[in-house]
Amino acid sequence: MNKFTDSLESELKALETKGNLRQLPHIRHEGREVVVNGQRMLNLSSNDYLGLASDRKLINDFLRTLRNEEVLFSSSSSRLLTGNFSIYEELEEQLASLYGAESALVFGSGYHTNSGILPAIANTRTLILADKLVHASLIDGIRLSAARCIRYRHNDTMQLRRLVDEHHKSYDYIIIVTESIFSMDGDEADLTALIELKHAYSNLILYLDEAHAFGVRGPHGLGCAEEQNCISEIDFLVGTLGKAAASSGAFVICRHEIRDFLINRARTYIYTTALPPINIQWTSFILSQLKNYESKRNHLSYISQKLRKILIESGYSCPSTSQIIPIVVGSSTDAILRAEEMQRKGFYVLPVRPPTVPEGTSRIRLSLTADVTEKEIDQLINAIRE
């Protein structure tokens, strides 16, 4: 055992030397702000894009809708056993109705969704073509599947088209896997080009992860697919409930047959305890009001656009088209120092380092929310320029 722990310690020291050692922060949340080591800072590292998670009025309004007998903090079981409370089915019907789709299925998390669906639907007669920058949960889902996978260059639809043309006759199905808004660069997939490609080949399937677009984009907050009026073209539309929706869990919008198949084959759905009923009720409460947050979405879009514009004018490379705005620094050590500097100026930003991003692209990841004011954006810009 000593030899084993010694090897672990050696690896940890190597991570520390490279500036890539991760540690849990000691953090206290106070609304839009956090307190770390006694210092109060504006939180610019949250995925609470609409600012709902700490809205005490909203929380109290929700609590007033509950009856005592409805307050259950555990489902105590898989949904396939005794955990399938009626509120689950009501939420899935609500989601399907919002999207104008046949059905929806709720998972325990975005990670469960992506790492469970792909192994369930892909076999040795399947080819997965995945964008180079898809999330770790998608990568792990691909690795767990029996399918062959080729990672195409980020957002390179020309290369993707060549790969489809080369391989479409050799496989029963080709699954194109991408995010709508990418979590590290904040840029977007070209959904129009992907749909055109799908129409050109009969055995193509589109898998779209809208984790960072759900709640934020589209007239009703349903994501980039709604914004571009192409929901019906997406075979697997995944949304995360733990970001803009201020809850937890995730869902997939799909055909009835796909839903039934996943209930029978997705291991991350079958072999896990269902989310607590009170969490499902909170999610349903938020979804019922999602369409009313247009002003929040507009404000978030405005401050994000303003910050991106100033960064580009200041000489930064900024691929982002969203509320996720990276400032690429380079080395992990430099990213840590830059984050510490920004924190001293009152902005809680964190360094993102390998393996989350490629070597040499460590960055500060600014994650804006609708709670951030234009004045605070101006202060942030001044802090970056100093």
Overall average pLDDT of the 181-195 stretch: 95
204 pLDDT higher than 70: yes
In this structure, of 24-28, 91-95, 145-149, 253-257, the range with the lowest mean pLDDT score is: 24-28
Per-residue confidence at 1, pLDDT binned at 50, 70, 90? low
Establish whether the linkage from the previous residue to 355 is cis, with ω within 30° of 0.
yes
Q: Higher confidence at residue 297 or residue 27?
A: 297
The residue written with tokens 């924190």 in the block is: 343
- Residue 215 confidence (pLDDT): 97
Note the pTM of the prediction, 2 decimals. Answer: 0.92
Which of residues 356 and 80 earns the better pLDDT score?
80
E-strand ranges in the chain read: 27-30, 33-36, 39-43, 103-107, 126-131, 148-152, 173-179, 204-209, 236-240, 250-254, 324-330, 347-348, 351-352, 362-367
Check for a shared fold between 19-49+323-385 and 63-291. no
Cα–Cα distances (Å) from 111 to 105, 108, 135, 228, in that order, read: 14, 8, 9, 25
Is it the case that residue 72 has pLDDT exceeding 80? no
Helices (H), 220-319: 224-227, 256-265, 267-270, 277-289, 294-313
pLDDT classification of 132: cutoffs 50, 70, 90: very high
List the beta strands (DSSP E) in 33-171: 33-36, 39-43, 103-107, 126-131, 148-152
Q: Is 3 helix (H, G, I), strand (E, B) or coil?
A: helix
Which is more confident, 244 or 69? 244
How much is the pLDDT for 153?
96
> Domain residues of the chain, as ranges?
19-49+323-385, 63-291
Predicted local confidence at residue 194, as pLDDT: 97
* Assigned token pair, 152: 């195409």
Q: Which CATH number fits domain 63-291: 3.40.640.10, 3.40.50.300, 2.160.10.10, 3.40.50.720?
A: 3.40.640.10
Question: What are the structure tokens assigned to 82, written together?
Answer: 């005794």
Compute CA distances 110 → 63, 73, 216, 310, whole Å.
26, 20, 17, 33
Report the candidate in 280, 294, 224 with the shortest Cα–Cα distance to residue 93: 280
User: Is the confidence at residue 69, as pLDDT, over 80?
Assistant: no
pLDDT tens figures, 235-276: 999 999 999 999 999 999 999 999 999 999 999 999 999 999
For residue 271, give the H/E element and its range: none
* Tokens of residue 110, six digits: 């975005």
Nearest partner of 48 among 303, 293, 245, 249, judged by Cα: 245
Please report the pLDDT score of residue 211 as a whole number. Answer: 97
How far from the centroid of its chain's Cα atoms is residue 339's Cα? 22
The pLDDT of 165-189, averaged and rounded, is 96
Please report the pLDDT score of residue 127 as a whole number: 98
Mean pLDDT of the chain: 93
More confident residue, 348 or 355: 348
Note the pLDDT tens digit of each residue in 311-334: 998 888 888 999 999 988 888 888
19-49+323-385: CATH topology: Aspartate Aminotransferase, domain 1 (3.90.1150)
Largest CA distance in the chain: 61
Query: β-pairing, 39-43 with 173-179?
Result: unpaired
Question: Among 79, 57, 33, which residue's Cα sits nearest to residue 271?
Answer: 79
